[in-house]
A and B are shown apart, each in its own frame.
Chain A
Amino acid sequence: MKQHVYESIYLSEKDFQEGRVLFETWDPNARYAWDAGVAIGRFLQGLKAGRLIGTHCPQCDRVMVPPRMFCEHCFVPADAFVPLQDTGTVVTFSLCYVTWDMERVEEPQIPAVIAIDGASRGMGILHLLGEVDPQAVKIGMRVQAVWKPEEEREGAITDILYFKPLQSPSHPITQSPSPQSKRGAK
């Protein structure tokens, strides 16, 4: 059977603009509404009011943030919303020199997981660090939320602009021995 191979055609933006190729365009209406649910809904309302909110597990006594309706360790329903502080401790962080859409930036973005004061140990949220020299960021660093002005808040995680360093000694989280050193001591 005879083979038919069509010549490859590479199209540039100019080919479209100058009408050398016929095409259709379609911009689908991709609007969506994502129901935040009871726990996160309450969390977002809290952010609008300038507070962080967690939930409490009656069985293991954990205070969980972001709040959830049940404890994933005990499988029991959470029994209360608990107001938390807007300070915390850097658990882990990254210096990002590339934005989400792959643009190179001079000043790095610093996403970090921040353990929130008032919640159980290790419970925290992902946010950005600011007002800090990237080279000075350390795990265990004490930080505080910088909020948007009240009239600009909309019930979103971005109602906190970023977390900035607090001038106080490191949290005990980094001073307690790591699991490895505990085992080594035995």
Chain B
Amino acid sequence: MSLMYRIQHLRDALAWEGEIPISNRYTMGIAGERFFREIKDNGQLLGTRCPECDLVYVPPRLYCERCFAHLEEWVEVPGTGHVHTYTIVHLDLDGNPLPEPRVLAFIRLDGSDGGLVHYLGEVEPDQVCIGMCVEPVFKDRAERRGSILDIVYFRPI
């Protein structure tokens, strides 16, 4: 047995394969709980307003990011907005090709200074443009479970 040993076949290259079982559970927090509960029960988006800075946060924050004030004023926002930026995704998280490309966009929501990252639907990828006006499409009430995916996608108005 010499050390001038060279791997001749791929099957001789020994790799130790394994899997680390990891399961994460992420709770929404105090503001997130109220935000998603409202989406689940009423299909309504909420934000919090800082009267000092005149900013409306969507998703809602408990504290103003500018002045650190505690935010207690909850406001309803209509859910409509416009595409601030977008990308077309062809691969899934593991790098496998998707059956259909999907459009992901950052949507600036009307009546707020924030926005959501979400899918765009009912639109061809090459028809999407920055500034496009969109509205959310909610799942049926019975199917909603208090998740960002209770909104199926945003579609052009």
Chain A residues with CB under 8 Å of chain B are: 2, 4, 6, 11, 16, 21-36, 38, 40-42, 44-45, 53, 55, 69, 77-83, 155-156
28 contacts between A and B (CB under 8 A): A22-B33, A22-B36, A22-B40, A22-B147, A23-B26, A26-B23, A26-B24, A28-B22, A28-B24, A30-B21, A32-B17, A33-B18, A34-B15, A35-B15, A36-B15, A36-B16, A41-B12, A41-B14, A42-B1, A45-B12, A55-B3, A80-B2, A80-B3, A81-B3, A81-B5, A83-B1, A155-B14, A156-B16
- Does B25 count as interface, using CB distance less than 8 angstroms? yes
B residues in contact with A83, CB < 8 Å: 1
- Does B90 count as interface, using CB distance less than 8 angstroms? no
A residues in contact with B20, CB < 8 Å: 30, 32
- Alpha-carbon distance between A80 and B12 when the two chains are bound, in angstroms: 18
B23, chain A: closest CB distance, angstroms: 5
Shortest beta-carbon contacts, A-B, top 8: A81-B1, A41-B14, A30-B20, A22-B146, A33-B15, A34-B16, A36-B14, A4-B70
A8, chain B: closest CB distance, angstroms: 11
Which listed residue (A25, A38, A40, A41) contacts B23, Cβ 8 A? A25
CB pair B33 A21 closer than 8 Å: yes
B87, chain A: closest CB distance, angstroms: 21
- Does B122 count as interface, using CB distance less than 8 angstroms? no
A residues in contact with B37, CB < 8 Å: 22
Which listed residue (A32, A42, A55) contacts B19, Cβ 8 A? A32
A10, chain B: closest CB distance, angstroms: 12
Report whether over half of chain B's contact residues are helix, strand or loop; otherwise say mixed: mixed
- Alpha-carbon distance between A79 and B5 when the two chains are bound, in angstroms: 11
B14, chain A: closest CB distance, angstroms: 4
B residues in contact with A42, CB < 8 Å: 1, 5
Which listed residue (B3, B12, B28, B40) contacts A78, Cβ 8 A? B3
Please indicate which of the listed interface residues B1, B22, B146 has the most CB atoms of chain A within 10 Å of its own CB. B1
Chain B residues with CB under 8 Å of chain A are: 1-3, 5, 12-28, 30, 32-33, 36-37, 40, 70, 93-94, 145-147
CB pair B22 A27 closer than 8 Å: yes
Which residue on B lies nearest to A48, using beta carbons?
Answer: B14
A residues in contact with B33, CB < 8 Å: 21-22
- Alpha-carbon distance between A16 and B28 when the two chains are bound, in angstroms: 12
- Alpha-carbon distance between A156 and B15 when the two chains are bound, in angstroms: 11
CB pair B3 A77 closer than 8 Å: yes
Q: Kindly list 4 other residue pairs between chains A and B, CB separation below 8 angstroms, not including A22-B145, A24-B28, A30-B22.
A: A24-B26, A30-B19, A32-B17, A36-B14
A residues in contact with B24, CB < 8 Å: 25-28
Known: A22-B32, A30-B19, A35-B15. A11 touches B5 (CB 8 A): no
- Alpha-carbon distance between A25 and B11 when the two chains are bound, in angstroms: 37
Which listed residue (B5, B13, B17) contacts A31, Cβ 8 A? B17
Which residue on A lies nearest to B94, using beta carbons?
Answer: A29
Which listed residue (B16, B21, B27, B30) contacts A6, Cβ 8 A? B30
- Alpha-carbon distance between A82 and B20 when the two chains are bound, in angstroms: 34
